[in-house]
Amino acid sequence: MTSVLRFRFRKSCSNNETTFRSYETSKVIKKQYEKSKTIGRQRWWCVNSCCWFIGCMCSTWWVLLFLYNCWPVSLGGMIEPEPPGVRLKNEGLTAVHPVVLVPGMITGGLELWEGRPCSRGLFRKRLWGGSFAEAVKRPLCWFEHLALDNETGLDPPGIRVRPIPGLIGADYFVTGYFVWAVLIENLASIGYEGKNMYLATYDWRLSFQNTEIRDRSLSRLKLNIELMYATNGNKKVVVVPHSMGVNYFIHFLKWVETPPPMGGGGGPGWCAKYIKSIMNIGPAFLGIPKAVSTMFSAEGREIASIRAMDPGLLDSEILGLKTMEHIMRMSRTWDSVISLLPKGGEAVWGDLDSSPDDGHECLLERKSYFQSNSSKHRTKYGRMISFGKTASEQNSSKLHKNSPMEVMQAIKSATCGEVWTEYGEINWNNIQKLADNKAYTTETFIDLLRFVAPKTMQRGEAQFSFGIAKDLDDPKYAHYKYWSNPLETKLPDAPDMEIYSLYGVGIPTERSYVYKLSPSERCNSIPFRIDSSAKGQCLRGGIYYADGDESIPVISAGFMCAKGWRGKTRFNPSGSATYVREYQHKTPSLLQGRGLESGGHVDIMGNVALIEDVLRVAAGESALGDRIYSDILKMSDRVNIELYSQS
Amino acid sequence: MATTLRRRNKQPEDSHPDPKPDEDDDDIKDSKPIKKSGKNNKIKNYSCLDNCCWFVGCVCSVWWLLLFLYNAMPASFPQFVTEAISGPFPDPPGVKCVKEGLKAKHPVVFVPGIVTGGLELWEGHQCMDGLFRKRLWGGTFGEVYKRPSCWVQHMSLDNKTGMDPPGIRVRPVNGLVAADYFAPGYFVWAVLIANLARVGYEEKNMYMAAYDWRLSFQNTEVRDQTLSQIKSNIELMVATNGGRKAVIIPHSMGVIYFLHFMKWVEAPAPTGGGGGPDWCAKHIKAVMNIGGPFLGVPKAVAGLFSAEAKDIASVRALAPGVLDSDLFQIQTLQHVMRMSRTWDSTMSMIPKGGDAIWGGLDWSPEDGYSPSKRKHAKNDTESSTQSESEIEATHANYGRIISFGRDAAEAPSSEIERIEFRGAVKGNNVANNTCRDVWTEYHDMGFGGIKAVAEYKVYTASDIVDLLEFVAPKMMERGSAHFSYGIADNLDDPKYKHYKYWSNPLETKLPNAPDMEIYSMYGVGIPTERGYVYKLTTAAECYIPFQIDTSAKDKNEDGCLKDGVYTVDGDETVPALSAGYMCAKGWRGKTRFNPSGIKTYVREYDHNPPANILEGRGTQSGAHVDIMGNFQLIEDVIRVAAGATGEELGGDQVYTDIFEWSEKVNLKL
């Protein structure tokens, strides 16, 4: 291969001087040719010039490619700063504690093990992650295989899609877009390798308990932690979960100490024995508002802005695409989405009038992002969904006071033949009534979801819970559906265990939404959509923004470690130490790629300061202390949750 | 397509001369005479450049078009064509078994062999920048060409310890991807995995026990804790699959690796896994060894002795100069030798059991074998007289694994004059320091030593170990700490508790697990290396002093001796004797090697070369690696994994004279 390249290179080198002149003069030649052309020649000339042009492009491309490959590696290295792993190695840090990485939602790869005839030839090929080539080539087939069964939330018959095990499962999400790769490389440079680093992949579409039932993922995680503990000289492990992996690991903490059929049977001292610290990156402890809009209308900030730019694209019936409906149908079969719904209700996320993060001043911090609006109007973040901009700002007394429960008495009537998204089952008048209710808080929103997506929520609520426990000793909390909600479980009895919450701040993050009814009444359409025309203070494209890491608001990421678990509370009876470490976002320059100081939800995995923190803890340090840029402490104080048990 | 191309090719040549006069005319008409001469020159240059560009463009466009067509082609098209040409495919065994109602039952563990497992870089020197967690071994081998000396440096282990050299960490790839494909398109385990998946297997009940195959077996545990990982993964799978025991499928060197594992896991803690005396009985249903070199392979001898094998010898026969050319200063073989000699694992496959198994100067278990005989026996048509005469003509002394010169290989033992080489003075090699950085221990050996080796004339299996100790003392010192090649007189001798005996089936007892089954599955019907005819190399400054004598050939085509290599029946790498003996005789019934009477089965698969190119590597192949795509073997594996016992498979299935050969082996059982 190289010899061929070199040959080509040499060939083009000899002609190099003339290559560029040929571009200039080609026009002249063309003119002259045109003058002298006969009809027959004209046809050939066209083909020839095409070929000539392609040839030029190809040769130039090859030459550039060759030069790029010949580029000395060290030259690129001089520009880049020394990676933190190398720096810390020179400081003398070495691998001490085994490391377990727990990936989050979406970023884990999924591969096909058994499929319908349309997926022929894709055995053990990536369906999710990688290049997503199949999603483009055979979209319907792809949707069919990635969706789960509507009733059970498990595999549909005849289809087996499984997570990819090992580090390759989540090092890169798509080609070139790193997730864990940078952290892994830095860990490796202080001595980590396969035997003391484990990436706990799991099928992120399933509910947490189902990953155990179907794939034994929790058992595997337990075994690998025990194995690494034993083979690395009885050193406790450092767990690094990211995003939804955080909730997954909280579930694991409860699961592992619970006795068998439901749990892992590790006994009450398991966590204390095996876990040194949990370094939650971008944790979604209390859920994310993004899950609200995803569940409600399969939208997020990205889709809303696409719609704002080109209103027809996503809804075009001409191509018969119905993309949004397909996405909604698929994502509603994923139980894990439900795990991310905001937890803690109005106490955490605010009611109609106030919320803990009220008073966050978007204006001062980000002039460039928002239209300046001088009125000192406080954003009502507590209204998770409001219909129309006015409803989101009005005084609560002026709001239409229809309890959603009343609306829900209304009779359902199926209007469409093939039901796709459960919206097909709801009469248009009822939808109108739902919209009349104007504003929903977190709690009423969940009621709303129970109405518009009864089956999904029925499935989901068997697996997850979103409330706050009054009495944690109530025997009902032994059920696994409470395990992933930090407000309804106790931390394990492990006083030496440390819990870190590491997250980015300084990026506007979705907090609540302004909705409108969608114009069409046709079958299988989604009747609600984000009103992307709504603008105002903290409001852009129909979305109210608060501080966070682009996906998770500060209140969700920070509250538990800043307040809920700080000291000996009823959620943390053994008093495990907690630390909040925030990373201020700095927009990277173009050359830096995704940046070394980014605070973005995924990009933070390449943040130098965060990597350094993880390496230090893995190498044996503890008690890194707090590092706070946002108002998290103030916000947490405003959250009204009983932290100490009455007795 | 071709005709249009040709037409296009001609056309521009015709059209180019034409416009030139016109241009001249135009220029005159436009009355710009000053520019005229300059332009003319340019145009001449362009026509050459243009032609080049045009040609490249054509090729590219056609290529893209074909690529597009290929991508647009429905996935079932190649199969359709194949079926049209060679008749309908048989159902893949997975589909067949699903139709019979078989389902995944016992968890399955794969143990890959030497060479086929991928290795990736975790830490390296400057020259390997940017290759973090990229495959160095397996995949495309792209780095071998790009930076060969760097690659050799990273793939080598430390000379003294047999572990990582300082600053370099190369680790096995984990998971099924480690050995499903060796290089793109060259399957190893992939076909078996795909078929198991059809009956319901997936990651949770299928495990690839990937290990660093360059290390000695015990060192994989010391460095990577691989044995512990295998142990706990088997335990996990058994526990999460309702207590059903695991079916282990080792291949090639994985077979002896797993023998080592079975001893390790029951041995008490510091050197062993501490699983207790009934671990195997509790966790293993069956061990289905594929192409197992239980007693070693002669190929390993040639590899260690002169970094050669049949493949390299025949390359040398075809083009004598290429590999040895000093012209490019490549010294490929020397580099290969230096690298492979740092790999302890190659020493695990030196023939074990000595003369008792592999034959002495005048006899060997396979005596009387001739490739043609089996063919005739199969056809049952040829007249017996002819085949008998052929046997006489091709009688080979297989016991002589290395002989210097063809005469020595064929002469009766009484006529060979052997001069003892052990203890001979090696002398000093003056040329030592000029040999650049290549190090093959041969440079520590003077002319006297080389001469002594050649004058011993004939080496049998027992002599081989001494020979290697003579020519490569440092390597063998390392190796003998990890492996042993003898036969135990008394297995209860406490010295056999040492881990270096664990991988030799003749020096260990099988675990106490009467319900376990051991299968030996291997291909037969392919000529397999068994003995070598060597010669001294014509001296050059830096060289390997011994070389397979490729001129040694049998007169007739069917002979056992070809290009200096004596061949015998086997699967192209492992002779049938090595693969089959233990299961056919050594472990059959309650022997001292198998005190608990584990049932053993020999299943041979006769080699049928693929009928045409479209079949790829064939569905009935018996070759060492290609057998992993053998439908019959896959079916057997699936049946056992789905719960069948050896009896239900049909017991033994034998094509060779393995039982006869085994009888000839004189071993106290």
Which of these, B323, B342, B565, lies nearest to B439 by C-alpha position?
B342
**pLDDT score for B412:** 77
CB-based contact A51 B123, cutoff 8 Å: no
Q: Which of B156, B252, B364, B403 is catalytic?
A: B252
Q: Which of B344, B569, B624, B662 is catalytic?
A: B624
CA-to-CA distance for A216 and B234, rounded, in angstroms?
14
CA-to-CA distance for A353 and B467, rounded, in angstroms?
91
| Mean pLDDT, rounded, for A482-507 | 92
Which residue type, as a one-letter code, is found at position B122?
W
CA-to-CA distance for B370 and B569, rounded, in angstroms?
8
Q: Can you say how many angstroms the Cα of residue B75 is from the centroid of all Cα atoms in its chain? A: 32
Q: What digits encode the pLDDT tens for the residues B47-85?
A: 777 777 778 888 888 888 888 887 776 666 666 776 677
**pLDDT score for B391:** 42
CA-to-CA distance for A439 and A444, rounded, in angstroms?
9
| Counts for chain B of helices (H) and strands (E), in that order | 26, 17
Share of chain A above pLDDT 70, in %: 79
Cβ–Cβ < 8 Å for A65, B51: no
**pLDDT score for A32:** 54
Q: What digits encode the pLDDT tens for the residues A465-475?
A: 988 988 888 88
**pLDDT score for B339:** 83
> If 0-12 CB within 10 Å is exposed, 13-18 middle and 19+ buried, where does residue A42 land?
exposed
List CB contacts (< 8 A) between A167 and chain B: 133, 174
pLDDT < 50 stretches in chain B: 1-39, 326-329, 375-393, 430-434, 436
Which residue among A25, A36, A55 places its CB closest to the CB of B53?
A: A55
CA distance B196 to chain A (A): 10
A97: annotated active-site residue: no
CA-to-CA distance for B546 and B470, rounded, in angstroms?
14
Cα radius of gyration rounded to whole Å, chain A? 28
A465: annotated active-site residue: no
pTM of the full predicted structure?
Answer: 0.84
**pLDDT score for B47:** 72
CB-based contacts of B372, cutoff 8 Å, min separation 6: B387, B390, B394, B558
**Residue A113: both structure tokens together:** 């093990």
- The pLDDT-based confidence of A283 (bands split at 50, 70, 90) is very high
**pLDDT score for A33:** 52
**pLDDT score for A22:** 47
**pLDDT score for B372:** 55
Q: How far apart are the first and last CA of chain A?
A: 77
Cα radius of gyration rounded to whole Å, chain B? 29
CB-based contact B75 A165, cutoff 8 Å: no
A483 vs A376, higher pLDDT: A483
CB-based contacts of B532, cutoff 8 Å, min separation 6: B298, B301, B302, B401, B402, B403, B548, B564, B565, B566
Mean pLDDT over the full length of chain B: 79
| Mean pLDDT, rounded, for A309-322 | 56
> If 0-12 CB within 10 Å is exposed, 13-18 middle and 19+ buried, where does residue B7 land?
exposed
- 3 state SS of A107: coil
Which residue among A160, A168, A171 places its CB closest to the CB of B202?
A: A160
**pLDDT score for A273:** 93
List CB contacts (< 8 A) between A120 and chain B: 75-76
Cβ–Cβ < 8 Å for B507, B496: yes
CA-to-CA distance for A343 and A446, rounded, in angstroms?
10
**Residue B83: both structure tokens together:** 């079926």
| Mean pLDDT, rounded, for A258-281 | 91
Task: Please report, to the nearest 10 degrees, the dihedral formed by the alpha carbons of residues A283, A284, A286, A292 taken in order.
Answer: 160
| Mean pLDDT, rounded, for A360-372 | 47
CA-to-CA distance for A2 and B145, rounded, in angstroms?
8
Which of these, A559, A49, A12, lies nearest to B19 by C-alpha position?
A49
Q: What digits encode the pLDDT tens for the residues A131-175?
A: 888 777 788 888 889 999 888 888 998 899 999 988 888 888 888
**pLDDT score for B110:** 95
∠ CA A189-A192-A195, rounded to 5°: 155
**pLDDT score for B261:** 94
Cβ–Cβ < 8 Å for B618, B608: yes
Q: Which chain A residue has its CA at the smallest distance from B233's CA?
A: A223
Cβ–Cβ < 8 Å for A580, A558: yes
Mean pLDDT over the full length of chain A: 80
**pLDDT score for A211:** 93
Residue B411: Cβ within 10 Å count: 18
Residue A378 has pLDDT above 80, yes or no: no
**pLDDT score for B263:** 92
- The pLDDT-based confidence of A271 (bands split at 50, 70, 90) is very high
CA distance B179 to chain A (A): 14
CA-to-CA distance for B416 and B456, rounded, in angstroms?
9
Query: Helices marked H in A132-180 — which ranges?
Result: 133-137, 139-146
Residue with tokens 């499962």: A169
CB-based contact A194 B171, cutoff 8 Å: yes
| Counts for chain A of helices (H) and strands (E), in that order | 26, 15
Indicate which of A23, A46, A193 best probes the interface with B, i.e. most B CBs within 10 Å of its own CB. A193
Share of chain B above pLDDT 70, in %: 78
Which residue among A51, A73, A113 places its CB closest to the CB of B202?
A: A113
**pLDDT score for A302:** 67
**pLDDT score for B226:** 93
**pLDDT score for A218:** 94
B30: annotated active-site residue: no
Which residue among B49, B54, B171 places its CB closest to the CB of A22?
A: B49
> Which of A51-55, A279-283, A391-395, B143-147 holds the top average pLDDT?
A279-283
